[in-house]
Amino acid sequence: MTGAVFTLFYALFLFDAPRKLFRDSDTGWHIRSGETIIQTGKLPRTDPYSWSRQGSEWLAWEWSADVILGIAHIRGGLPGVTLLYLALLSICSWLWFRLTWAAGGDFLLSCVLASPMLSTVNLHWLARPHIFGWLLLLAWVWCAERPPIRSRWWHAVAAFLAGSAWANLHASFFLLPATAVLYAIGYWLRPLLWTVEPDADFRAARWFAVVATTAAAGSFLNPYGWLLHQHVFSYLTNRELLERIGEFQSFNFHNPGSIQILLALAIAGIGAVFALDQGRLGRFFLLGGMCLLALRSARGLPLVALLLPLANGSITEGLRKMELRPWIRGKVDGFLAYGRNLRALDSPFRGYAWAPLMLLAAGWILWQPSLHARTGFPPEEFPVLAASAVEGLPGSARLFAPDKFGGYLIYRFQGERKVYFDGRSDFYGVRFMKRYIDFVQVRPGWDGMIETEGFTHALVPVNYSLAAVLPLIGWTERYRDSTAVLLERPTR
């Protein structure tokens, strides 16, 4: 519980959660989507937000998470959304430590690893549905590290329900059956590769196979059925599309502060090697696979950090059994003994009663006038001030704004002011994105899009090429601040 409290403190005061949780404008349309579902009692089937693709079929594949965001916003506005995500991030930290103990990790080592963990996961500390996926992944791997001696019928039911809940919250639902398959293969292979008693391992392999099957079946219990799986698969295998989405690109390890992230990757890799040596193939497959994914896509880095408890457990076991010179052996044993003693002292102080009090305190802080006023989308990144000028545009205006602004405009105008583009890249598709990038980057033929799309106004960041080029062809500046400029096309 101490880790959860520290995470709450870190996120609120050091990370600046009231602002940084909203540094991705997708939060805006998630909130409005959830509120619409609550108000109408129906899921949207066609796009309600854009004028460029209005009426096209849309799968609101994270509708349950949208509803939760919508409830938080209706009850408490953006501070309410902030409090919700502070609670989710704190629960993730609590589960991270619970997974550490389940994996046999060392107390002192877990304290050391908490720093690279927090430094890595906060890359994607955003008020978006993927945080629900993190929470479910941690809860599931915690269960996987403590497989029962024998299967019960309710295990299959629980896996079915978990698969269904995850599929309605976030597109990462495939991680549950996929990791269950990895553990099943690991337990099945172990008696074939090492001299161990096979019965217990084969029982565990069957249990994981049942979990994988029932969880996969449960994922079809969603409003879209198999179409959800087809949609997610098509999206994640569309290389042309993913190449144009920044968060799916490889992380730049030359960025300032990336040492902690490199450390998380290195420890996960070392843990994978120790897990292989110990015959823990499920851990080896999971840690190794996540490291490979993280090198390919920045979206995988937080998953590696969340699974560091598995590396901790394997490294701790390796240190305990490693043949070392006597003086080194003594130091290592002293380190491990000290960690065990600290864990024994800490374990009685679970602190569950403090959790609601800490959330109440966080809520009280968030609703203080000074912090309440600055909670939300950062005005240095989004057209918070320019929105008043946009509000004065006629309803028939065909406003161009980049996807970075789209989600915020949907939120600000409650979906009434239609946007050209927003962060739903799976909905707009690669062909649309190619044309959009050509226009934004002022590539040959860019000006033809003004006619074909019928743009009447443009709201763009001040550092975009369009902000300088459009006035050269007669567009008039209607508003400018340090973040955005609003331009109007000349009338004929």
pTM of the model: 0.92
* Residue 346, pLDDT score: 63
Cβ contact 287:271 at 8 Å: yes
For helices 308-321 and 107-121, give the axis angle rounded to 10 degrees.
150
CA 122, CA 35: separation in Å to the nearest integer?
Answer: 27
Tokens, residue 439:
């226009």
Sheet of strand 476-480, all strands in order from the earlier edge strand to the far edge: 399-400, 457-461, 484-488, 476-480
β-pair type (476-480, 457-461): unpaired
User: pLDDT tens-digit profile of 189-199?
Assistant: 999 888 888 88
> CA 61 to CA 229: how far, in whole Å?
10
Query: In angstroms, rounded to a whole number, what is the distance separating the alpha carbons of residues 182 and 137?
Result: 14
Q: How far is CA 280 from CA 95, 185, 189, 398, in A?
A: 21, 11, 10, 58
pLDDT at 339: 77
The encoded tokens of residue 45 equal: 């089937």
Q: Hey, what are 70's tokens? A: 């919508």
Which structure tokens are listed for 233?
A: 């698969």
Domain ranges of the chain: 2-354, 387-488
| Burial track 169-189 (b if 16+ CB lie within 10 A, e otherwise) | bbbbbbbbbbbbbbbbbbbbb
Q: Say what the pLDDT of residue 353 is.
A: 59
The answer to whether 445 and 438 are in contact (CB under 8 A) is: yes
> Cα 395–446–239 angle (5° rounding)?
95
CB atoms within 10 A of CB 167: 28
The predicted-structure confidence for 245-271, as pLDDT tens digits, reads as follows 778 888 888 888 789 999 999 999 999
Dump the DSSP string for 64-86: HHHHHHHHHHHHHHHHHHHHHHH
Question: How far apart are the C-alpha atoms of 417 and 396, rounded to whole Å?
Answer: 10
Helix (H) or strand (E) holding 357: helix 354-366
In which residue are the tokens 């443009």 written? 458
Residue 41: predicted pLDDT: 92
Give the Cα separation of 268 and 272 in Å (integer): 6
Per-residue pLDDT in tens (0 to 9) along the chain, 492 residues: 666 778 888 888 889 999 999 999 999 999 999 999 999 999 999 999 999 998 899 999 999 999 999 999 999 999 999 999 999 999 999 999 999 999 999 988 998 999 999 999 999 999 999 999 999 999 999 999 887 766 777 788 999 999 999 999 999 999 999 999 999 999 999 998 888 888 888 999 999 999 999 999 999 999 999 999 999 999 888 888 888 777 888 888 888 878 999 999 999 999 999 999 999 999 999 999 999 999 998 899 999 999 999 999 999 999 888 887 888 888 888 888 877 777 776 665 555 656 777 778 888 888 888 888 889 999 999 999 999 999 999 988 999 999 999 999 999 999 999 999 998 998 998 999 999 999 999 999 898 899 899 999 999 999 999 999 999 999 999 999 999 999 999 876
